[in-house]
Structures are given as structure tokens and as C-alpha cells.
Amino acid sequence: MKPIPGDRVIHGYRLESVELRDTPTIERNDNGEYKPSLALSIRQKCTAVPPILLLDSAKTQLS
């Protein structure tokens, strides 16, 4: 197996890598207008991020 630039071989398996051009963004709906996180105040950022963090934990049952 000939190595390809950017690929790695770990435990005999070739791992291919690709460059992803997509970048996730966080936006907040402010009275019908979506604003990117860079345009938000600290307080607005504090209300935009926690719901994203809680998405997976909402499925988790607390004991």
C-alpha cells in the first residue's frame, strides 16, 4: 500500500484525511433576525449556547 500525503497508517489500517471547508456557526434568533455569535453581546451568547449543550443531556435520565 503506497502512502498518500495526509494519510496515516495505524495498526495496519490506512486512515484517510480530508479537509472540511464547512464551519459550524451559532446564531441567535433576535426578533425574527438571525445574528451570528460574533455580533451578539455576552448576555445573548449566554442564552444561545446552553440549549445546544443540553441537547444530548436531555435524553439522559437523571438518577
Q: Residue 26's pLDDT is what?
A: 83
Cell matching residue 42: 455576552
Residue 29 lies in a domain: yes
Judge whether 33 lies within some domain.
yes
Domain of 31 in residue numbering reads as 23-54
Q: How many domains does the chain have?
A: 1
Tell whether 15 is covered by a domain.
no
Q: Which of 48, 54, 42 is nearest to 29 (CA)?
A: 48
- Please indicate, yes or no, if residue 34 is contained in any of the structural domains: yes
Residue 36 lies in a domain: yes
Q: What is the pLDDT along the chain (63 residues), one digit of tens a residue?
A: 455 566 677 777 877 777 778 787 888 888 899 999 889 889 888 888 888 777 766 565 544
- The reply to whether 16 falls in a domain is no
The per-residue pLDDT for 4 is: 56
State the pLDDT at residue 59: 60
d(CA 62, CA 2): 50
